[in-house]
Structure 1
Amino acid sequence: MNAPPTGSAVLWLDVDAETAGQRIDNFLFTRLKGVPKSHVYRILRSGEVRRNGGRVQPKDRLEAGDKIRIPPIRLAERETPEIPGRALRNRIEGNILHEDEDLLVINKPSGLAVHGGSGLSFGVIEGLREIRPEARFLELVHRLDRETSGCLLIAKKRSALRGLHEQFRGDEVKKVYLALLAGVWARNHWIVDAPLQKNVLQSGERLVKVARDGKPSVTEFRRRERYAQATLVEARPITGRTHQIRVHAQSMGHPVAGDERYGDENANRGLKQLGLKRLFLHSAATTLHHPRTGAVLKFEAPLPPELADFLNTLAR
Structure 2
Amino acid sequence: MTAADLEARLLYRDGLMLILDKPAGLPVHAGPGGGENLERYFQHLRFGLPKPPALAHRLDRDTSGCLVLGRHPKALRRLGKLFQEGRVGKVYWAIARGQPAAPEGRVDLPLKKLSTKAGGWRMVTAEDGQQAATGYRVLGQGGGLSWIECRPQTGRTHQIRVHLAALGCPLLGDHQYGDAAADRDLPLHLHSRSITLPIYPKRDPITVMAAPPPHMQAALAQCGWSALQDEADRQTGQTDGKNPGSP
Q: 1: distance between equivalents of 2:129 and 2:5? A: 38
Query: What letter matches 2:169 in structure 1?
Result: H
Number of paired residues?
Answer: 224
* Pair 1:305 & 2:219 matched: no
- TM-score normalised over the length of structure 1: 0.65
- 2:157 alignment partner, one of 219, 242, 245: 242
Q: Does the 8 Å contact 1:164/1:291 carry over to 2?
A: no
Q: 2: distance between equivalents of 1:136 and 1:282? A: 29
- 1:124 alignment partner, one of 12, 35, 38: 38
Query: What letter matches 2:83 in structure 1?
Result: F
Q: 2: distance between equivalents of 1:308 and 1:166? A: 34
Alpha carbons of structure 1 residues 102 and 314: separation in structure 2 relative to 1, 3 Å? closer
Determine helix, strand or coil for the equivalent of 1:192.
Answer: strand
Alpha carbons of structure 1 residues 314 and 208: separation in structure 2 relative to 1, 3 Å? same
- 2:60 alignment partner, one of 137, 145, 167: 145
1:95: Cα distance to partner?
0.6
- 2:22 alignment partner, one of 108, 113, 124: 108
1:200: Cα distance to partner?
5.8
Root mean square deviation, CA, Å: 2.5
1:128-174 per-position Cα deviation (integer Å, ceiling 9, x unaligned):
12453854252111100111000000101111111111111111101
1:184: Cα distance to partner?
3.2
Q: 1: distance between equivalents of 2:67 and 2:118? A: 26
Greater RCO (CA < 8 Å, at least 6 residues apart): 2
Q: 1: distance between equivalents of 2:173 and 2:147? A: 13
Q: Percent identity?
A: 35
Q: 1: distance between equivalents of 2:209 and 2:122? A: 29
- TM-score normalised over the length of structure 2: 0.81
| Equivalences for residues 163-202 of structure 1 within 5 A | 163-199=78-114
Q: Which runs of 5+ in 1 are unaligned?
A: 1-84
Q: Does the 8 Å contact 1:163/1:291 carry over to 2?
A: no
Larger radius of gyration: 1
1:217: Cα distance to partner?
0.3
Q: 2: distance between equivalents of 1:129 and 1:90? A: 12
